């Protein structure tokens, strides 16, 4: 992984055996990143589109379509409303009484009304004249697992090599997941033990509790939980034993990534290098030439 940080953007190149396979770019001003969780306010409901436009602080209202509400949307919004009013008694969500699920063919004006406060997550970043796209199916991703509040589904990545390993991971996750949280087991979980997976579950539930605490004091529109920067999120999603080098040309970003790696994969910190040459990192590593071609 080659990370080129200029003042206005961060560009990340993934190389395999010297060949460029992926390129990612994040502007320094991206305040609405995929995965960010917001407490917003519905500005208007558009019945023909079966969608709502939500104020989350972007210059253009965010777009929320009925198909992105998720079946448990009423339960999620009731929980968020109680949390924001300080009327949520229980610490966790294990015994939170669920509301009736919505049907796939319903209408958004049966679920939400104008000026209603709403808990939602950015599904797509804003593009040119469009605001961000939202979802009410909240997912909190870690390196090995993704947790989904108010769900009972346990899914295991099909990319995990053997059915025995998939069964083993499903058994572990079934035994450690908190009640009312669904879990998706990622490919990186292959070979991990119960203690490692439990630690991540606890970290992710901690993030969920952060949302609850923020709701108590936040007035919409407000960001409740921020997704990590692009470099760290790519490392979280892609870091495997196949990585042999991560080179970064910015000292501050290098330190941030180093701290992040120490938290999620201390054995990988040794792969991290700071590029100190005056020549641009993409030129030295042959990325510029490959982008042009």
User: Has residue 216 got a pLDDT over 80?
Assistant: yes
Hey, is 208 helix, strand or coil? helix
- Among residues 78, 138, 66, the alpha carbon closest in space to that of 102 is found at 66
- DSSP strand E in the chain: where? 2-5, 9-16, 19-27, 37-46, 51-55, 62-65, 117-124, 133-135, 140-141, 145-149, 154-156, 181-185, 222-225, 246-248, 272-274
Angle 149-265-281 (CA atoms, 0-180°, nearest 5)? 110
User: Has residue 218 got a pLDDT over 90?
Assistant: no
* Helix extents (H) in the chain: 73-84, 163-176, 194-217, 230-238, 251-264, 281-284, 287-292
Cα gap 226→89, rounded to integer Å: 26
What pLDDT, in 10s, does the model give residues 160-198? 989 999 999 999 999 999 999 999 999 989 999 999 999
pLDDT at res. 177: 95
pTM above 0.85, yes or no: no
Cα gap 32→253, rounded to integer Å: 19
What value does the mean pLDDT take over residues 213-240? 84
What pLDDT, in 10s, does the model give residues 107-140? 999 999 999 999 999 999 888 888 999 999 999 9
User: Which residue has better confidence, 267 or 181?
Assistant: 181
């Amino acid at each position: 992984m080659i990370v080129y940080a200029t003042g206005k953007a961060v560009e990340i190149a993934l190389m395999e055996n010297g060949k460029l396979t992926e390129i990612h770019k994040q502007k320094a001003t991206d305040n609405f990143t995929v995965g960010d969780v917001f407490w917003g306010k519905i500005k208007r409901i558009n019945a023909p589109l079966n969608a709502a436009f939500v104020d989350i602080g972007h210059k253009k209202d965010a777009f929320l379509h009925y198909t992105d509400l998720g079946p448990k949307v009423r339960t999620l919004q009731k929980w968020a409303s109680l949390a924001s009013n300080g009327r949520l008694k229980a610490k966790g969500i294990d015994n939170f009484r669920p509301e009736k699920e919505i049907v796939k063919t319903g209408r958004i004006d049966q679920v939400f009304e104008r000026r209603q406060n709403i808990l939602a997550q950015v599904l797509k970043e804003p593009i040119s004249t469009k605001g961000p796209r939202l979802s009410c199916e909240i997912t909190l991703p870690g390196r090995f697992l993704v947790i989904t509040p108010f769900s009972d589904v346990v899914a295991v990545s099909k990319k995990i090599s053997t059915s025995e390993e998939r069964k083993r991971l499903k058994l572990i996750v079934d035994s450690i997941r908190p009640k009312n949280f669904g879990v998706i087991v990622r490919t990186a979980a292959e070979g991990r033990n119960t203690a490692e997976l439990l630690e991540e579950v606890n970290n992710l539930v901690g993030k969920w509790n952060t949302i609850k605490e923020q709701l108590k004091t936040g007035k919409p529109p407000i960001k409740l939980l921020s997704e990590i920067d692009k470099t760290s999120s790519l490392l979280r999603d892609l870091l495997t034993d196949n990585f042999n080098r991560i080179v970064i040309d910015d000292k501050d970003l290098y330190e941030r990534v180093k701290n992040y790696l120490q938290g999620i994969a201390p054995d990988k910190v040794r792969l991290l290098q700071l590029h100190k040459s005056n020549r641009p990192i993409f030129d030295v590593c042959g990325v510029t030439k490959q982008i042009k071609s």
